[in-house]
Structure 1
């Protein structure tokens, strides 16, 4: 185990990926829209033009400042459709009980201009960007802007139901419970080769596939054993993919503990979170404490600037929310750092079954790829 504050060093003499401890087990809340749109990675997609261009997706949620009448909603849709059409943007907006959820997709510059307009619109407030990422294709290419007031459709889109999962993530889930591990690694490597973005692969491929595995189990199409096996294959494939990556060390790297909540058998979320903090140049310790007491000992005997605790990225684990709150309180009391930042993640937060305040965390994230943003957001909030 490395000493607190020292960068872990591997056998080759370069900083190793994580500091591992396998003795315990064998085996802001949201991301803000990125400001530098010109550097956004994308694939080639055509829409309304013969020339190919990069494609990206932005999703956000907000609250209407007042009740919207049917006529007001129609006017909103018509204005949005005209604006989107001019920018080559497509998507859908869902409205229910004064809440908006919108999915935008199109060329980065076009989406950026639409987002700028949306951010200034006085008809809504509490505007929160949930995700910004490159996209392999459009999901709503036939609509300049579709308006829906269906609660069922809103739940489906916010939860990324199987009907809206990208075909490559659907295929990955199927492969993960099959017999060809090489096919799993090949598909992940192919998508990563196109985008060269860990965040895109995590948010658009790995985590949707993990949620799909759980949904297959819920519908009786696979066993719990197959889900666990599939998640392990995704985890192993990601570690193999990123094994040779050695990011630059940050000028003032944070020391971060990344761990699944004690008792959580699905370790994929913690592995992805550790990869994200490692890629940020932070000193990362990935641990798998089997008990609350083991986790308490880790934070009591090592200095950490932040701790990321995760539930399953596949199953909702709503029943574990109360215990997560208790464990986070224990971590704070045991920590050497009185200003410790604690963030939480897992599908429960993706599906918005829980918030950071529900578990006593400083922030939560809907994707393991967003863990660094969540930690930085929480730290800024304390300044």
Structure 2
């Protein structure tokens, strides 16, 4: 066990390239990712938006040693003061965006891979996730209440493509849209029924869909016309993102989208550009 654990810590890059393995490991890795995407990331996003000072660039980037250190704290037999460690990183120049994108999510995914490799057991993983949740709660105490959304702000609906299970990039896009002043609604319903209901009942300027693999491209192609028909906004703009579109500009037209996004940080500007084009055309 000790040998496997040491090897797993040293060989993270190989695990990233070969994330297969036994069925139980894949299942637990997916469960961990869902906890990060559905609970940890959104709560950190709210905390970040609540800051009274404007967001800043991170002067301190996450390194392998930071992820190793937080992982060790989460898996330790005795409870440790992880908040103090994270506060040290923030005091050292690490922005909350970097805590969000570069530290906590990779730590949770890495713990899942360690379990897959038999480097830690079920109890350790369960305890680690509970500690991560508590750490998020403690981080929220460092921030003020979220600012109210401007009623005049543009609205975006972000949803996974039909059948899509990986929503981390979508959640990051929600973060950056909110930072840019948009009103953001996110749905993680992979059959799109919730998105269709929202489009019928509410006004959205833009809808964004995320797709990570080629398997569900045909389902997305079939879904796009239904989304447009359901929309109260006849001029709804549709943007897509995710690995399925990286290096494949032909797929933008194929699925019926107006634009694609390679980097979540660029999503608000791309969406704004689409709306500005519509205004100029009028």
Q: Output the TM-score relative to the length of structure 2.
A: 0.54
Matched, 1:303 2:203: yes
Tell me the secondary structure at the aligned position of residue 344 of structure 1.
strand
Matched, 1:167 2:67: no
Q: Is the 8 A contact 2:73 2:80 kept in 1?
A: no
Q: Is the 8 A contact 1:173 1:212 kept in 2?
A: no
Q: Is the 8 A contact 2:153 2:182 kept in 1?
A: yes
Deviations 1:225-247 (A, max 9, x none): x9x99999989966874674524
Q: Is the 8 A contact 1:176 1:234 kept in 2?
A: no
Tell me the secondary structure at the aligned position of residue 41 of structure 1.
coil
Task: Give the counterpart of 1:374 among 260, 267, 270.
Answer: 270
Q: Is the 8 A contact 2:169 2:264 kept in 1?
A: yes
Q: Is the 8 A contact 1:299 1:336 kept in 2?
A: yes
Matched, 1:360 2:260: no
Structure 1 pair 40/248, CA: closer, same or farther in 2 (3 Å)? Answer: same
Q: Which residue of structure 1 aligns with residue 57 of structure 2? A: 41
Deviations 1:66-94 (A, max 9, x none): xxxxxxxxxxxxxxxxxxxxxxxxxxxxx
Deviations 1:335-374 (A, max 9, x none): 111121222233445xx25446154332333343443223
Task: Give the counterpart of 1:258 among 158, 163, 176.
Answer: 158
Q: Which residue of structure 1 aligns with residue 225 of structure 2? A: 329
> Alpha-carbon deviation of 1:304?
0.8
Tell me the secondary structure at the aligned position of residue 272 of structure 1.
helix
Matched, 1:319 2:215: yes
Tell me the secondary structure at the aligned position of residue 259 of structure 1.
strand
Q: Which residue of structure 1 aligns with residue 180 of structure 2? A: 280
Deviations 1:195-252 (A, max 9, x none): 46454445544676688789x59xx7479xx9x9999998996687467452464483
| Larger Rg over CA atoms | 1
Q: Is the 8 A contact 2:238 2:258 kept in 1?
A: yes
Q: Structure 2: how far apart are the matches of 1:303 and 1:259?
A: 15
Tell me the secondary structure at the aligned position of residue 199 of structure 2.
helix
Deviations 1:125-147 (A, max 9, x none): xxxxxxxxxx638xxxxxxxxxx
Structure 1 pair 170/250, CA: closer, same or farther in 2 (3 Å)? Answer: same
Q: Is the 8 A contact 2:58 2:98 kept in 1?
A: no
Is the helix fraction higher in 1 or 2? 2
Structure 1 pair 380/370, CA: closer, same or farther in 2 (3 Å)? Answer: same
Q: Structure 2: how far apart are the matches of 1:322 and 1:246?
A: 39
The Cα RMSD (Å) is 4.7
Q: Is the 8 A contact 1:258 1:270 kept in 2?
A: yes
> Alpha-carbon deviation of 1:254?
0.9
Task: Give the counterpart of 1:339 among 230, 235, 239.
Answer: 235
Q: Structure 1: how far apart are the matches of 2:267 and 2:231?
A: 20
Q: Is the 8 A contact 1:176 1:233 kept in 2?
A: no
> Alpha-carbon deviation of 1:332?
1.6
Q: Which runs of 5+ in 1 are unaligned?
A: 1-25, 28-38, 44-134, 138-165
